[in-house]
Amino acid sequence: MMRKQSIPLLVLEFLLLLQTSTADPRAQTVNITCGRQPEHNSTIFVPNFVAVMENISEQMRTSGFGMAVVGSGPDANYGLAQCYGDLSLLDCVLCYAEARTVLPQCFPFNSGRIFLDGCFMRAENYSFFGEFRGPEDGSVCGNATRMGSGFGDSVRRAVGQAVSGAPTNRGYAKAQVGTANETAYVIANCWRNLNQSSCKACLEDASKTILGCLPKSEGRALYTGCFMRYSDRDFLNREGGGGSSRGTRVVIIVSVVSSVVVLVVGVAIGHHIWRNRYIQKKRRGSNDAAKLVKTLNDSSLNFKYATLEKATESFGDSNKLGQGGFGSVYKGVLPDGREIAVKRLFFNNKHRAADFYNEVNIISSVEHKNLVRLLGCSCSGPESLLVYEFLPNKSLDRFIFDQTRGKGLNWEKRNEIIIGTAEGLVYLHENSNIRIIHRDIKSSNILLDSRLRAKIADFGLARSFQEDKSHISTAIAGTLDNQAMKNQISRVVHIGLLCTQEIASLRPTMSKALLMLTKKEEHLPAPTSPPFIDEKTMELNDTCEDPSYPLNGDDVGSVANLTHSSFYPR
């Protein structure tokens, strides 16, 4: 079956860094609700979930709405996602990417739904597409500011207009009522799979609930079949590309955002790799896990679980720094006063202590100015923890998706971040004794130090390859002024396109990409067609690899249905 392939996430981050301003994708999470029933069989459930998300992703890029079903019985996965009607397709893709990153934290439960301020997503193991009411329906009241009676009247009128208008307008309506400081802004959206009568019923119920938030200045109704919001501030985008007052932006829409699912793909591939390693080790009768755990406990890399729990105040919400693809991150302070960042892994690694320790041991020795330093780990407590150096400015996404903080990133600083990220990847790919392929480069994995210098995080959770290993998938995995600046931006976009060509051997290595970024006189060839072709066809066409890594009869294999060829990171 022909299907679109996702593009390396590094390209998306280049494009996001190129934004001078943008409409708001409203990717802030309002509420996430997970089911209570555990998944039936992870080896089936996870691939089904990945396939559903990939299918929906393709639909979202063209229509802002998607539905998909994969599998049957207890391992079936039904998915639905929709952006609200005022988002452009670009902003819709960004919002969906965030939802797709957060929802898998419901694993190992087999269902969940998430409301963002710009989009909605739900996954279940049964067909819920006809539902528009549910026991979890309700409201979230926002800002505690208490408004006057005039504002309340404006809200009621605006909500009434939106409720009456949406059912006959593909389930979407917005309204603005009032003057001066009493203006109310409202959006109402039903999911497109509902018929007109179901949409009307859902919005009527939601309107009654949301009005209960008055006299507060913000209110949201989160319903099984619809979403509604009112506010005293104009949060609405102008359809077709965002508000006109937000300035010019460089817009290139690519399918890269679908790679955000790498977090779930990583689970499936990681499970397969673990099984193979476990079987091989068992056959060899070596690698006693208990001995390695003891080694870890005696190692300088080891942190006692109790120490980290105390340092983070029992992983209190006030210390939570954010959420990554592999786990939640918390700020901690050790007894000696050192500030650290502690990651609680979503998928516990206690049962594979040997592999976990080996990975930590390897990655802790990797040092570069553009890599976050891994200080150690804890796998002897009730969950697996990783300990990193603490960086006060957190991650890049906190800047590029924030209109206020984003202003602090002028083009010069953005260019420095791009080059710093590239330098870190060059080191991982080519300059270290153990080559590491990150495979999850995105803005939330690029941290910034006190001087806003880029540091790559989470490379310790990627697959690592020793020098003598010879296999890696070449399948593609994983937004101005004066004229000179425009030329620089165009050049970076050009380089990004070269990195997304359909044949792996045509993509520049990271060292070559870095040279192109830093040497302005370096010639840039014209990019070939984008990689929207069948993966097997792409691999068959990929007959040319780096000459220092010749292909032989033993260098072609298949792992988890991924075609592999000779190892040379790009």
**CA 222, chain centre distance (Å):** 23
CA pair distance 223, 112, nearest whole angstrom: 13
Element (H, E) at 308: helix 305-311
HSE-up (13 A, CA, CB side) for residue 3: 16
Helix axis angle, 42-63 to 89-102, nearest 10° = 170
List the catalytic residue out of 75, 86, 117, 440. 440
* Feature table: binding site for ATP: 343
454 touches 371 (CB < 8 A) = no
Please give the structure tokens belonging to residue 299.
Answer: 């190692």
CA pair distance 279, 177, nearest whole angstrom: 66
Cβ within 8 Å of residue 269, ≥6 positions away: 463, 559, 560, 562
HSE-up (13 A, CA, CB side) for residue 206: 35
CA pair distance 223, 317, nearest whole angstrom: 26
Element (H, E) at 186: strand 184-190
Q: Is 288 a catalytic residue?
A: no
391 touches 372 (CB < 8 A) = yes
Q: Is the peptide bond before 392 cis (omega within 30 degrees of 0)?
A: no
Tell me the DSSP string of 386-432: EEEE--TT-BTHHHHT-HHHHTT--HHHHHHHHHHHHHHHHIIIIIS
* Feature table: binding site: 343
Of residues 232, 233, 206, 234, the one with CA closest to residue 220: 206
Q: Which residues are catalytic?
A: 440
